[in-house]
Structure 1
């Protein structure tokens, strides 16, 4: 996908109220001396109606963050600190981490839904599309009649561009792109305020990726929900996100508007991601990539986790960990890098 043009999606006004606030969220896998820290004090705000992209290499903590926020972490994953606050349209903020199992059941699908990684293989192969869409409605809206559930299922398929006559189809009778769109329709069944998409288009070709993401943006504009879109492919986010957060080694290292990240990445890791894929239009350019491999979470390097791979590393990088801090008050950009810190090496 080309990124030779300016991103088409304009960021919403910064005054838009938050719908989800994550503060100092930390996650470990395992307990005791053998625990591995997968998320380090993550701070992130999702504003109402925006598409927030979350990018980074495999193992950077993107999916762990999604599962922690939705309380879907499987053992041995443990949330060890922080807060997750959901802001409904009416009433005060809700502490997601303090919800009871019953409250969580009501919260999921109705307020927040998730399209899992490998979504096109998530449908049950022995049930029709109709059965799988109406099961969601039966479980969460028991008062709906059978006819109303079927009508809603037809409406959901229409939203994602699939004919109602495919309700009787089994997953193997659908293309990969159609299965993916069915999963998106299922995520929208109860009109949630937030949709988390964990690399939902990874297994699809670039043409189908583009079609699905265009539909997603259109649905966001029509229905007003917010999206957290997780992927390792920053080129997708540049075009379809309002704002992007870059993760590395379990931390967020840069947050900015999609256009700002594209034009002027401030963290060397963000710059490396941008130069790891070819442009389809414009002059040829050499792909520089990022040397080395992501860090082993069991033996993280001291200081900045990226410094062993960073072409711009200097004195404090291998000794002190930079914290995410504002880098541009006008755009709301924040960066965790000593290159963007006003303090001189050796200063605390």
Structure 2
């Protein structure tokens, strides 16, 4: 991606708990998000994807603790800064205005006793207090139109909208302050495949129109292949491969990436057998020695069970595997 960096994660470590009982859920993760880019983050449940998202925005619930690393944000105007060092006041301004999150199960995040109009304008009232009531209402209507909902649904309650419409409202709420970075944590998991495609297609259209960057988190690699510019694969709290989306699909280097690709049917071309990945993700309390994936890897050899592979550059992409 040729755009300048907007968010840089450097060596981030996240633990749950403290002392001898601490469990490390994110291990030395480094990622760069560029302006206008969709960066996909894939991996099985428990691989650390959501913990990474909540860690980089300091939204970790207790007993989550950030134990190392930096999260450097590059605003459009002004100097870059480390999000992990912000005061509570500055952090409040950073969240939603600079970086917004569409949470997992977002369509159930709306308050059932308030109208859609109230929930959209409350965001503006909190973050842009100088904005008048008429201007707030007009901005809310504009965001609904952008996500494909008629402005006359402003006075509806959440239960009067379908699941797909509630999801669109949440995306509109995330974009209403025009943030530079939008983090989407499995936002379409509860929706059918037709609605998934509609919402993701609309998200890409909005990205092109408004110019924000996206970190899209999912366990469904087939979605990322179609909608992402780059894909990072996580396993056992680490990034094991990062490459352009087309390169991952055509020639994945890490055996885990290949296993994920073999777990969904091809939409085009000849039929192929779904292979999947044998075994289960590692227990973070007792990680295996060496490469965390080696107990499940069909290509593992002696070194894999002894040394942890580091991310190394392979023709403009990175992979953490002793095969390369």
Same fold (TM > 0.5) = yes
Is 1:339 the equivalent of 2:323? yes
Q: 71, 74, 84: which is aligned to 1:97?
A: 84
Q: CA RMSD in A?
A: 0.6
Is 1:286 the equivalent of 2:286? no
Report deviation, 1:325: 1.2
Question: 2 CA distance for matches of 1:204 and 1:321?
Answer: 38
Q: 170, 176, 201: which is aligned to 2:163?
A: 176
Report deviation, 1:291: 0.2
Q: How many residues align?
A: 324
Is 1:19 the equivalent of 2:19? no
Report deviation, 1:90: 1.8
Alignment partner, residue 110 of structure 2: 123
Tell me which moved more, 277-286 or 157-166: 277-286
- Give me the TM-score of the superposition, normalised by structure 2: 0.99
Question: 2 CA distance for matches of 1:89 and 1:145?
Answer: 25
Question: 2 CA distance for matches of 1:28 and 1:72?
Answer: 13
Report deviation, 1:38: 0.4
Report deviation, 1:91: 2.2
Report deviation, 1:284: 1.2
Runs ≥4 residues deviating over 3 A: none
Q: 217, 226, 250: which is aligned to 1:263?
A: 250
Alignment partner, residue 311 of structure 2: 324
Alignment partner, residue 39 of structure 2: 52
Q: 1:38-81 CA deviation, whole Å, 9 max, x = no partner?
A: 01100000011100000000000000000001110011000000
Report deviation, 1:283: 1.5
Q: 287, 312, 318: which is aligned to 1:300?
A: 287
Question: 1 CA distance for matches of 2:238 and 2:276?
Answer: 20
Question: 2 CA distance for matches of 1:321 and 1:158?
Answer: 49
Report deviation, 1:30: 0.2
Question: 1 CA distance for matches of 2:214 and 2:190?
Answer: 20
Question: 1 CA distance for matches of 2:255 and 2:314?
Answer: 14
Q: 1:217-257 CA deviation, whole Å, 9 max, x = no partner?
A: 00000000000000000000000000000000000000000
Q: 1:92-127 CA deviation, whole Å, 9 max, x = no partner?
A: 211100000000110011100000000000000001
Tell me which moved more, 133-142 or 86-95: 86-95
- Give me the TM-score of the superposition, normalised by structure 1: 0.92
Report deviation, 1:281: 3.3
Report deviation, 1:335: 0.3
Alignment partner, residue 314 of structure 1: 301
Question: 2 CA distance for matches of 1:267 and 1:114?
Answer: 29
Q: 1:184-223 CA deviation, whole Å, 9 max, x = no partner?
A: 0000010000000000000001110000000000000000
Question: 2 CA distance for matches of 1:303 and 1:104?
Answer: 37
Q: Structure 1, unaligned stretches of length 5 or more?
A: 1-11, 341-348
Question: 2 CA distance for matches of 1:171 and 1:279?
Answer: 36
Alignment partner, residue 22 of structure 2: 35
Question: 1 CA distance for matches of 2:56 and 2:10?
Answer: 11
Question: 1 CA distance for matches of 2:174 and 2:213?
Answer: 12
Mapping 1:148-167, distance limit 5 Å: 148-167=135-154
